[in-house]
């Protein structure tokens, strides 16, 4: 999901959330209100998919930082190592917040 979010409202015709078209495949009987990456979703499922995308991105960032920190050549530069460790800590905080958002969206 790229995060392209468009709010829509249809006064006469109320289409249903298309969450069942995602990999989760769960039926949702709520009215679709948000267009996200070509799907019409209810607000809850739109927030849930956005949180999942954010988590995947932050996990990728964390993996890249860990890879950099494991590089022997880079470890010789203490300034760079300090910056990478600070970035890793920031990514860990953001990841925890994203998991909290996902838990709230799932309620």
Task: Give the count of domains, the chain.
Answer: 1
Token representation of residue 95? 């990841």
**Which residues fall within 8 angstroms of residue 52, CB to CB, at 6 or more apart?**
1, 102
Q: Average of pLDDT values for 15-21?
A: 87
pLDDT digits (tens, 9 = 90+) for 38-90: 889 999 989 998 999 999 999 999 999 999 888 878 778 899 999 999 999 99
Taking CA atoms, 76 is separated from 46, 64, 70, 97, 101, in Å, by 44, 18, 11, 32, 38
36: pLDDT confidence band, cut at 50, 70 and 90?
confident
Question: 5 — phi, psi (to 5°)?
Answer: -110, 125
8: pLDDT confidence band, cut at 50, 70 and 90?
low
Position 94 scores a pLDDT of: 96
Please give the residue range of the domain that contains residue 48.
Answer: 5-106
The per-residue pLDDT of the chain, averaged, comes to 85
Token representation of residue 41? 């979703």
């Amino acid at each position: 999901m790229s995060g392209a979010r468009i709010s829509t409202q249809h006064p006469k015709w109320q289409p249903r959330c298309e969450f069942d078209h995602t990999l989760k495949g769960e039926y949702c009987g709520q009215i679709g209100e948000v267009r996200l990456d070509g799907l019409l979703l209810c607000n809850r499922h739109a927030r849930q998919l956005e949180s999942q995308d954010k988590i995947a991105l932050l996990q990728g960032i964390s993996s890249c930082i860990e890879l950099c920190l494991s590089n022997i050549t880079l470890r010789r530069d203490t300034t760079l190592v300090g910056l990478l460790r600070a970035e890793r800590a920031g990514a860990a905080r953001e990841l925890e917040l994203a998991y909290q958002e996902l838990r709230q969206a799932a309620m």
